[in-house]
């Protein structure tokens, strides 16, 4: 198992390298130079000597490929560079924002699973009934509604009907004030969880319908097992595999930051960090954030592989490796 996971992790190395190459050279294709992007209008006040020494300081005077390999070399030593806009090392900036995104992603997935699994199972049990129809309608709407619409609607309803402004004030850390933190993070999490719950519901329903038609379910019934045991131990467990894949893919995206929802609810997460870094052309930060997001994908993929083996003993990586 460990050998398999190591092999998988190594297989992702070219992908991660590809990401670094793509990001590094894409950013250098942006019109305008880095110094102007960093300093804005103040760059116009620099003398030629000042500009040259700044370029030398940031290594911008060297050819692109040298800059790339320097960056890669530093990366291997845990040095992601220095964010000019934040005046901090890139890694520190990312690690300060990541807990927000992680908390948001975990809550969103939990909300989606709570809604999606429950309604998916109910819809499959009461197949072709009114409940099923309502469930499917909910899924269709959930899949069609963009999260910026749901987010805007939630803010509208809360502010007009309940006098609550979910995005007011500065972000409070979970360790500082858990209650205030929960108040700030729950609505963006509902926004993200709602759309995802629709996908989970659809997947649960179709996977459960398929499993419920299998022979071993009939066998379990004929053995006289309770319906609840059949559903939870025999049906749902086997229906979970495609759902785990779905959750894995979605969690990868959520951990990559949800630019729009973080922007609407003014949450200082990874998505907003990436968005601001891109629009402010903070080279080192863009490189660091995108690499971080790609690494998240790799880790999530490995976790999903591991969860498969827990759910289905027939999936054993030991045999293959």
Partner 1 sequence: MPNTASALTNATVTLDAPRRQPGFFRRLLKSPSGVVGIVIITFYLVVALAGAFGLTPHSPLQQNRFDRLQAPSDTYRMGTDLYGRDVLSRVMDGATNSLRVALASVLLSGVAGTLLGALSGFAGGLTDHVIMRVMDVFFAFPAILLALLVVVVLGPGLNNTILAIAVVYTPIFARVARGPTLSVRAMDYVTAARCLGVSERRILLLHILPNILAPLIVQVSLALSWSLLTEAGLSFLGLGTRPPQASWGVMLSESRALAEMAPWLMIYPGLAIMLGVLGFNLLGDGLRDVLDPRLRGKR
Instruction: State the Cα–Cα distance between residues 94 and 268, nearest whole angstrom.
Output: 10
Taking CB under 8 A as the criterion, the residue among 1, 7, 26, 178 binding partner 1 is: 26
88 bridge partner residues: 83
State the minimum distance, in angstroms, from the CB of residue 150 to partner 1: 9
**Interaction of residue 22 with partner 1, rule CB under 8 A:** yes
Which residue among 66, 95, 133, 140 contacts partner 1 (CB under 8 A)? 140
Is residue 302 packed enough to be buried (19+ CB in 10 Å), middle (13-18) or exposed (0-12)? middle
In whole angstroms, how close is the CB of 151 to partner 1 at the nearest point?
9
Q: Coil, helix or strand for 82?
A: strand
Q: How far is the CB of 208 from partner 1 (least distance, A)?
A: 11
Residue 149 beta carbon to partner 1: minimum distance, rounded to whole angstroms: 5
Residue 21: CB minimum distance to partner 1, A: 8
What is the sign of the dihedral through the CA atoms of 136, 206, 107 and 191? negative
Applying the rule CB under 8 A, the residues between 158 and 217 that interact with partner 1 are 159-160, 202, 206, 209-210
User: Is the four-CA dihedral 318, 15, 272, 156 of positive or negative sign?
Assistant: negative
CA angle 198, 204, 205 (to 5 degrees): 90
Site residues for partner 1, 231-290, by CB under 8 A, read 252-253, 256-260, 263-264, 271, 274-275, 278-279, 281, 286, 290
- Among candidate residues 283, 233, 307, the one with its CA nearest the CA of residue 54: 283
How far is residue 128 from each of residues 133, 215, 221, measured CA to CA in Å? 7, 21, 21
Q: How far is the CB of 35 from partner 1 (least distance, A)?
A: 18
Residues that bind partner 1 (CB under 8 A): 14-16, 18-19, 22-23, 26-27, 29-31, 136, 140-141, 143-146, 148-149, 152-153, 155-156, 159-160, 202, 206, 209-210, 252-253, 256-260, 263-264, 271, 274-275, 278-279, 281, 286, 290, 293-294, 297-298
């Amino acid at each position: 198992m460990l050998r398999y996971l190591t092999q998988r992790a190594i297989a992702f190395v070219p992908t991660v390298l590809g990401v670094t190459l793509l990001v590094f050279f894409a950013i250098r294709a942006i019109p305008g130079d880095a110094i102007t992007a960093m300093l804005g209008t103040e760059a116009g006040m620099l003398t030629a000597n000042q500009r040259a020494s700044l370029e030398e300081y940031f290594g911008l005077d060297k050819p692109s490929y040298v800059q790339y390999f320097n960056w890669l070399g530093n990366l291997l030593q845990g040095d992601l560079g220095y964010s000019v806009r934040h005046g901090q090392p890139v890694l520190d900036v990312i690690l300060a924002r990541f807990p927000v995104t992680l908390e948001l992603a975990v809550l969103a997935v939990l909300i989606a699973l709570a809604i999606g699994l429950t309604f998916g199972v109910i819809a499959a049990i009461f197949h072709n009934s009114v409940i099923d129809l309502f469930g499917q309608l909910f899924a269709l709407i959930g899949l069609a509604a963009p999260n910026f619409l749901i987010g805007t609607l939630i803010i509208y309803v809360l502010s007009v009907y309940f006098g609550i402004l979910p995005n007011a004030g500065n972000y409070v850390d979970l360790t500082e004030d858990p209650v205030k933190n929960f108040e700030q993070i729950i609505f963006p999490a509902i926004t993200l969880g709602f759309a995802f719950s629709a996908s989970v519901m659809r997947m649960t329903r179709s996977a459960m319908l398929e499993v419920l038609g299998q022979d071993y379910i009939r066998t379990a019934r004929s053995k006289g097992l309770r319906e609840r045991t059949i559903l939870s131990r025999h049906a749902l467990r086997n229906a979970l595999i495609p759902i785990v894949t779905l959750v894995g893919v979605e969690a990868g995206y959520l951990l990559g930051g949800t630019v729009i929802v973080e922007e609407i609810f003014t949450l200082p997460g990874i998505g907003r960090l990436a968005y601001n870094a891109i629009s402010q052309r903070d080279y080192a930060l863009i490189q660091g954030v995108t690499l971080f997001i790609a690494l998240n994908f790799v880790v999530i993929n490995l976790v999903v592989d591991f969860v498969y083996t827990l759910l289905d003993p027939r999936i054993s990586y030991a045999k293959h490796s």
